[in-house]
Homo-oligomer: A and B are copies of this chain.
Amino acid sequence: MTRPGEFELIEHYFRPLAADPGALSLTDDAAVYNPPRGEEVVLKADLIAEGIHFFPDDPPRSIAAKALRVNLSDLAAKGATPVGYLLSLALKPDWNEDWIASFAGGLAADQETYGVTLFGGDTSRASGGTVVSVAAIGRAPVGRIVRRNGARPGDAIFVSGTIGDAALGLRIRLGTLDAMPAGKAADHLLDRYLHPQPRVALAPVIADFATASLDISDGLVGDLAHICKQSGAGAEIAAAAVPLSAGAKAIVAADPSALATVMTGGDDYEILATVPEARAEAFATMAAEAGVPVTRIGRIVEGASPPVVLGPEGPIRFDHASHTHF
């Protein structure tokens, strides 16, 4: 098998993705980016590894999309505007050109969707599984990104979209659910795991309204605990208020233990944000106008402590508060 070399790969598949002048057409050793006056650069790096964050037989387009989107999701949660990304790709020994073509196609589609372009990076071999490392570049007014530490007692707690789908999708993929859904419901959950949807459209609304915000990658309870810890506050959420997709509802109805997966499982990449009570209604309205449904699930309370999830019979305890990829 003849495979293209590194320079051919860059020339043929990656250079067409590097539309920004600051990428220097990928013909140089570095990229440049000059944020608009009054703004600063927001940077986030996250990698995904074969066998850990994705399956070897996942479509390459989907792997590309996940690598990029998990980073864009963080920028969105900070209220930042996405600009571009650097890509470092370590390819497993048996990679082939079709894989690269599909992978680059996935990047191209997402660049269109999210308004970003490739700024640079490198391609090399890996001795084990493929690793895709992305460093996302965003911008935001100086000193104004939305942090984890700004939640105040009384703030309303919101989530975007529906919660737990991706973690249930992973359990379907792994075959670890007692009652396995089938058909369209299963497809939806599997897709939610495979194709995170970063809430980039919500970023300007987050920037305007949120006192604290992050994206839910480690699970709702675990990520809310991050906000509580950094803000020196507590939180109460109502399990019944947490928005579930139809598929997730059916699974939890058939197997109540799946509730723990919903509340603590990772990879949703929805936004968890706190908003002052007086602005909660306006926030929900503006989010809907941006095309992103948000749901109020609880409130921030006094006293630094982990979040409390309230069920019909009082607080619900989970064995593990969060999911990590470690």
Partner-B contacts on A (CB < 8 A): 5-7, 24, 27-35, 40-53, 74-75, 77-78, 80, 86-88, 90, 92, 119-129, 131, 133, 135, 137-138, 140, 142-143, 145, 147-149, 214-215, 230, 324-326
24 A-B pairs in the complex with CB atoms less than 8 angstroms apart: A24-B147, A27-B230, A28-B148, A28-B230, A29-B78, A30-B75, A30-B78, A32-B42, A33-B43, A43-B119, A43-B137, A45-B133, A45-B135, A46-B88, A47-B122, A49-B90, A49-B124, A52-B124, A52-B125, A125-B326, A126-B128, A126-B129, A131-B133, A133-B133
> CB-nearest residue of chain B relative to A324?
B6
Question: For A47, what are the chain B residues with a Cβ–Cβ distance below 8 Å?
Answer: 88, 90, 122, 124, 131, 133
Smallest Cβ distance from A192 to chain B, in angstroms?
A: 20
A221 to B137, CA, bound (A): 33
What B residues does A138 contact at CB under 8 A?
Answer: 30
| A-B pairs, 6 with minimum CB distance | A128-B128, A51-B127, A34-B40, A135-B135, A133-B133, A45-B86
CB–CB A120/B43 < 8 A: yes
**Given contacts A27-B148, A34-B142, could you give 9 more A-B pairs where the C-beta distance is less than 8 Å?**
A28-B78, A32-B41, A34-B40, A45-B87, A45-B120, A46-B88, A88-B133, A90-B131, A125-B325
> Beyond A126-B128, A127-B129, is A30–B49 a contact (Cβ under 8 Å)?
no
CB of A265 to closest CB in B, whole Å: 16
